[in-house]
């Protein structure tokens, strides 16, 4: 018989599993692991860049080694988005009427979506364009 475990216990076991997979023997949480791995990568990239400079090999710009120029070289904190673009674009509004110029989705350059509280992305002035098969279905309905 399997005992029921609290959500906190399961979460901690999952975190410990991930820490073990990444070989984090002295690290106790994911934030510390993330920071230490970032520092290790940034240090490696800095070392490679310094060696290139010492050898007078200026063929590879630092921007291609994880650095950005802003009056000085700074490490790029993330090489990939924090989440998939679709997730980052999940913005929703709670417009009471019409989704006009004050609509949060419209201001962000997005159409309303099913996540929108009132309009659900369909009953407003900022809904996404109908797909071709939806237009065809609407024409068939109107003809009958």
Instruction: State how far the Cα of 41 lies from the Cα of 72, in Å rounded to an integer.
Output: 19
Same domain assignment for residues 43 and 94: no
Number of domains in the chain: 2
Q: Are residues 37 and 89 in the same domain?
A: no
What's the domain range around 22? 7-79
Same domain for 68 and 90? no
User: Which tokens sit at 59?
Assistant: 């063929």
Give pLDDT tens digits for 14-48. Answer: 888 888 888 888 888 888 888 788 777 777 777 77
Q: What is the pTM (predicted TM-score) of this model?
A: 0.36
């Amino acid at each position: 018989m399997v005992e029921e475990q609290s959500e906190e216990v399961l979460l901690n076991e999952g975190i410990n599993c991930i820490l073990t997979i990444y070989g984090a023997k002295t690290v106790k949480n994911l934030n510390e692991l993330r920071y230490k791995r970032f520092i290790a990568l940034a240090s490696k990239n800095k070392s490679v860049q310094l060696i290139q400079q010492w050898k007078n090999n200026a063929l590879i710009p630092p921007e291609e080694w994880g650095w950005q120029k802003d009056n000085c070289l700074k490490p790029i904190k993330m090489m990939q988005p924090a989440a998939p673009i679709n997730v980052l674009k999940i913005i929703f509004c709670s417009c009471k009427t019409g989704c006009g110029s004050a609509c949060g989705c419209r201001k962000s350059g997005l159409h309303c979506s099913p996540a929108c509280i009132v309009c659900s992305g369909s009953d407003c002035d900022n809904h996404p364009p109908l797909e071709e098969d939806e237009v065809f279905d609407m024409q068939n309905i109107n003809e009958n």
